[in-house]
Amino acid sequence: MLKSIQSLLIIVLTQIMAISIFALFVIFLNLNLFNQSNFWVSFILHNILIMFTYGLITILINKYFKNGVKLNNKSTILGLLLAIVYLIIFYLSNDDFNFFQYFLLIHFPIGSFFRTIPYTMFDLLIKISVVLSIVSAMLGVYIGQNISKILDKKKKSLSSLSKK
């Protein structure tokens, strides 16, 4: 139970850091990958950026919190949290875009991409494709967790060699 609560708190911290990083991307770098002629290519590039960012944040958090490497279910918790929030807001925003904007604020890494898209283009297919951003965030945390485990094993093996 304690590990689940620790994982949940680390995932909340990861989400807050991801929102902050993408806010900095939008404010200072004016990140705008939206291409009117090829929406899906720009959407895929943005999801790769989301994966990379979540992976990097996971690695940095695991370096700061020593037992963060031992918490294995962080990507699942992130996916469940974002999926539950997405499904609730998707249901509430049946015909109104105003409720769906709340999800784009909660999961701002994809919200930063959709901030430049005209509201007339935001149809059911686009709303459903946002699920891919949840999967890419989960994949980024999963990859970051595995890289942290590899780095932790290397550090332990190097420290055990120096003790001999």
Q: Tens digit of pLDDT for each residue in 23-35?
A: 888 777 776 666 6
Residue with tokens 């105003």: 98
One-letter amino acid for residue 45 of the chain: L
In sequence order, which residues have a C-beta less than 8 Å from that of residue 59 and are 6 or more positions away? 144, 147, 148, 151
Helix (H) or strand (E) holding 99: helix 97-106
Q: What is the mean pLDDT of residues 138-154?
A: 88
For the full predicted model, state whether its pTM sits above 0.75.
yes
Helix axes 74-92, 2-28, angle to 10 degrees: 70
Q: Residue 163: is it exposed, middle or buried by C-beta count within 10 angstroms (0-12/13-18/19+)?
A: exposed
Q: How far apart are the first and last CA of the chain?
A: 37
The answer on pLDDT for 87 being more than 60 is yes
